[in-house]
């Protein structure tokens, strides 16, 4: 069943004008008499005319929509970032089409291709944890599709990027644990190839270093599924608990990892769980309710979404190919919970 609709033609016919005159009146064109313009506008208003955005897109060869690729919208960081994205996009007249990769590389490719096949004017991407080869994105970018990365960025693609100060955030969180007296601090993180992984690992190592605490590779748990699969965390926690030197503190590099590893500890050994101190990246709004408490490294998700979108729209609306790109780094915030 079809959704009935009013076109410019209907107005033209009703008013005994040509479609081009109506079009000009509607766009507020200059080359038209005030009288005609008034009549057209009034009538259009009366019958509640809405231009067909699809026809406009075809004509202008752009869709006034931007595509977003994140791993999971149920993740607090991303849902907050999306709010930031929408706040800017909406104001600038753009639709936002959100897709999720669920940390699957295959799904990510499919989403990007779908979006790119000319239905969006630009792309906002945070890579999935499975994504190792980003050449397909590079292809698109080379062809001229505006792309801005945020959070999980691709090193090898030269474009605007928006990230949190992952090094500093990780350093501060680790230092906080150290100052509490901890020396046996494990680290839960994403797969190695992600940008955020090395940056956060770096902050962790540097803090250990500063306080002369040896770095122990066995304390670092790379989670291939980024915490999407609880079993992975349960296994990692099991391994830690089997070490002769059990860690007594954890620094987790991501939302799902922070909460997921706390759950894993609770599952394995509830009593031990209450003794362990966890600090981790999370943008959860209910972190106050957790027990044992989690000290949170909070990313400015909303602002990151905003900045990324501003950069993208600048790219889209630029008349000339852009060759100068910038990387914006925003500070995290350490929220201490006892």
**Interface region with DNA, contact rule CB under 7 A, candidates 25-33, 193-201, 233-241, 299-307:** 25-33
Query: How far is C-alpha 3 from the chain's CA centre?
Result: 34
Choose the contact partner of 338 out of a copy of itself, DNA, none; CB within 5 to 8 A by kind.
none
Please report how close the Cβ of residue 321 comes to DNA at its closest, in angstroms.
19
Please state the φ and ψ torsions of residue 139, each to the nearest 5 degrees: -55, -50
Packing angle between helix 135-143 and helix 105-116, nearest 10 degrees? 10
Residue from the set 205, 246, 290, 329 that interacts with a copy of itself by CB under 8 A:
290
Both tokens assigned to 285: 């709004």
Per CB under 7 A, 267 contacts DNA: no
Per CB under 7 A, 26 contacts DNA: yes
Query: Residue 252 is inside which H or E element, if any?
Result: strand 249-252
Per CB under 8 A, 284 contacts a copy of itself: yes
Per CB under 7 A, 334 contacts DNA: no
CA proximity to 126, closest of 90, 93, 102: 102
Residues 6+ apart with CB under 8 A from 45: none
Instruction: Name the residue nearer to a copy of itself (CB basis): 137 or 208.
Output: 137
Instruction: Name the residue nearer to DNA (CB basis): 27 or 218.
Output: 27
Report the alpha-carbon distance of residue 42 to residue 28 in Å, rounded: 13
Report the alpha-carbon distance of residue 320 to residue 124 in Å, rounded: 20
Give the length of the chain: 338
Instruction: Name the residue nearer to a copy of itself (CB basis): 148 or 207.
Output: 148
Asked if 298 and 333 touch (Cβ cutoff 8 Å), the reply is yes
Alpha-helical runs (H) found in 61-215 = 76-91, 105-116, 135-143, 166-179, 195-210
Query: Residue 327 CB: number of other CB atoms within 10 A?
Result: 11
Per CB under 7 A, 44 contacts DNA: no
Choose the contact partner of 318 out of DNA, a copy of itself, none; CB within 5 to 8 A by kind.
a copy of itself
Report the alpha-carbon distance of residue 137 to residue 139 in Å, rounded: 5
Per CB under 8 A, 46 contacts a copy of itself: no
Per CB under 8 A, 323 contacts a copy of itself: no
Per CB under 7 A, 33 contacts DNA: yes
Count of residues interacting with DNA (CB under 7 A): 29
Binding site for DNA (CB under 7 A): 5, 7-9, 16-21, 23-24, 26-27, 30-33, 35-37, 51-52, 55-56, 58-61
Binding site for a copy of itself (CB under 8 A): 1-5, 50-55, 57-58, 61, 63, 73-74, 76, 79-80, 82-83, 86, 95-100, 113-114, 117-119, 121, 143-146, 259, 262-263, 266, 284-286, 288-291, 315-316, 318-322
């Amino acid at each position: 069943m079809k959704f009935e609709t009013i076109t410019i033609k209907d107005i033209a016919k009703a008013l005994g004008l040509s479609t081009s005159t109506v079009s000009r009146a509607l766009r507020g064109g200059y080359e038209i008499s005030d009288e005609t313009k008034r009549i057209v506008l009034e009538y259009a208003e009366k019958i509640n005319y809405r231009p067909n955005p699809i026809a406009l897109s075809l004509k202008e060869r752009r869709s006034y929509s931007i595509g977003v690729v994140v791993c999971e919208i149920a993740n607090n960081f991303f849902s907050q970032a999306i709010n930031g994205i929408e706040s800017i996009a909406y104001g600038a007249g753009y639709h936002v089409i959100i897709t999720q990769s669920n940390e699957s590389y295959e799904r990510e490719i499919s989403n990007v291709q779908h979006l790119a096949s000319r239905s969006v004017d630009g792309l906002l991407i945070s890579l999935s944890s499975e994504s190792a080869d980003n050449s397909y994105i590079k292809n698109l970018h080379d062809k001229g599709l505006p792309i801005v990365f945020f959070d999980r960025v691709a090193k090898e693609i030269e474009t605007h990027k928006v990230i949190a100060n992952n090094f500093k955030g990780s350093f501060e969180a680790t230092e906080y644990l150290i100052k509490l007296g901890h020396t046996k601090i494990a680290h839960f993180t994403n797969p190695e190839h992600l940008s955020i992984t090395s940056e956060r690992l770096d902050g962790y190592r540097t803090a250990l270093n500063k306080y002369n605490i040896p770095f122990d590779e066995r304390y670092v748990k790379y989670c291939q599924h980024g915490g999407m699969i609880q079993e992975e965390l349960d296994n990692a926690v099991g391994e830690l608990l089997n070490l002769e030197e059990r860690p007594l503190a954890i620094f987790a590099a991501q939302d799902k990892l922070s909460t997921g590893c706390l759950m894993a500890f609770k599952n394995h050994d509830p009593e031990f769980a209450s003794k362990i101190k966890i600090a981790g990246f999370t943008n959860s709004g209910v972190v106050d309710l957790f027990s044992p408490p989690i000290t949170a490294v909070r990313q400015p998700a909303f602002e990151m979404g905003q900045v990324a979108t501003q950069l993208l729209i600048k790219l889209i609306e630029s008349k000339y190919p852009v060759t100068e790109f910038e990387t914006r780094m925003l500070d995290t915030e350490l929220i201490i919970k006892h």
